[in-house]
Amino acid sequence: MRLALVQMRCEKAAIADNVRRMVALLDRAEELSVDIVCFPEMNITGYVAPPKFPEAVIGWDDARLDPLYEWSEGSRASIVAGIVESNADGMPFVSQAVIRRGKVVGNYRKINIVEDEAVMFSPGSDALALDHDGLKFGVLTCADQEREDLFALCAREGAGLVLLPSAPGLFGAQAGRNWRSGYEWWRETCRNGIGSYARRLGIWTASTSQAGRTIDEDFPGGGYIFDERGRLVAETEDWSEGMIVGEVRV
């Protein structure tokens, strides 16, 4: 199974532009015969604080997503992509959907809403594990990396691969940003988190992150694939936008 991890700059509330750039990356993935394409957490809407960017709180039926669905109709690939999803019953969700054959076939809402997010987002309640041509894979999101039990739950549901699309904001002022230290921090976080879970649970794990500078926040980039022994078998070179493709053998 060929897995593509996309790390990209996702400007906040720039939905149409983010979708346009996704389609270009999907064209490249199609040329490489990729089975699953994983984009970062909230890559479509950007990682927004809903009170500051209310226009970026959308549903999966938003018309600006139509180019993504239209592209998907002509491909066999599964697309993992994220938004800030509206919630009629309260604060919005951090939502990561799997799109295939022109429609949403699964939707994961981040369960582990950490302290600084708790005033902005509602937690989800259910893990997600789906089949792609015989490979069952799970989807979690960013801070879920702190919860090995969620990875174990995906494994119990039969997932041989668990994806962790992420958007970990970097601390400190933008003007003096040390990109190398931010990138290395997230790399080690993934090695110590999803890398160790892969080894202990006997599953493959992978993560990709938003990358670069947005209007008010920076993100470290980094795409990583760990095999069932916890070995890092594929990774990005740095924090630059791009895509890596790796073979997952489950």
Nearest to 220 by CA among 189, 175, 193, 244: 189
Tell me the residue ranges of DSSP E strands in 39-91: 57-58, 78-85
With 0-12 / 13-18 / 19 or more C-beta atoms within 10 angstroms meaning exposed / middle / buried, residue 195 is: buried
pLDDT in tens, 143-194: 999 999 999 999 999 999 999 999 999 998 898 899 999 999 999 999 999 9
Q: Using the structure block, give the residue that is written with the tokens 């470290």.
A: 220
Backbone angles phi, psi at 180, to 5 degrees: -65, -45
Q: How high does pLDDT run on average in the chain?
A: 97
Q: What's 112's domain CATH number? A: 3.60.110.10
pTM of the full structure: 0.97
Joined together, the tokens standing for residue 97 give 């959907």
- Please tell me the total count of domains within the chain: 1
With 0-12 / 13-18 / 19 or more C-beta atoms within 10 angstroms meaning exposed / middle / buried, residue 123 is: middle
pLDDT at site 178: 93
The dihedral through the CA atoms of 181, 219, 5, 40 has a sign that is positive
Helical residues (DSSP H) of the chain, grouped into ranges: 15-31, 66-73, 148-156, 179-192, 194-201
pLDDT in tens, 41-89: 999 999 999 999 999 999 999 999 999 999 999 999 999 999 999 999 9
Q: Which domain holds residue 101?
A: 2-247
Using a pLDDT cut of 70, give the percent of the chain over it. 100
Are 4 and 37 a contacting pair, CB within 8 Å? yes
pLDDT at site 200: 98
